[in-house]
Amino acid sequence: MEEKIKMVQAVCSGFKVAYIEMPFEHAGIESFDLVVLRVNFEKKYKKAIPASEWLNYTCMKQIFDFYTNIQAE
């Protein structure tokens, strides 16, 4: 998880572990940040989150969980 947090902090310097389950807007993650994070995660893990899922995500934990689950496959 530490690597994923560092990826978020590279885009949103104020992001903290305590913000993982906070809604994006309360965690200081803006819409442009989300676009950058999506691209970075997709490049890193070579797997895209389907748009139907992405649009329903409200916090970083959901994104972290998606990539943790694909790593376990």
The per-residue pLDDT for range 41-53, each reduced to its tens digit, is: 999 999 999 999 9
Average pLDDT of the chain is: 94
Region 4-30: mean pLDDT is: 96
Residue 70: the pLDDT is 83
Q: Report d(CA 50, CA 55) in Å as an integer.
A: 9
> 60, exposed or middle or buried, with CB in 10 Å at 0-12, 13-18, 19+?
buried
Whether 63 contacts 30, CB under 8 Å: no
Residue 73: the pLDDT is 66
Q: How confident is the model at residue 30 (pLDDT cuts 50, 70, 90)?
A: very high
Does pTM surpass 0.75?
Answer: yes
Domains of the chain: 2-72 (1.10.1200.10)
Residue 71: the pLDDT is 72
Whether 64 contacts 1, CB under 8 Å: yes
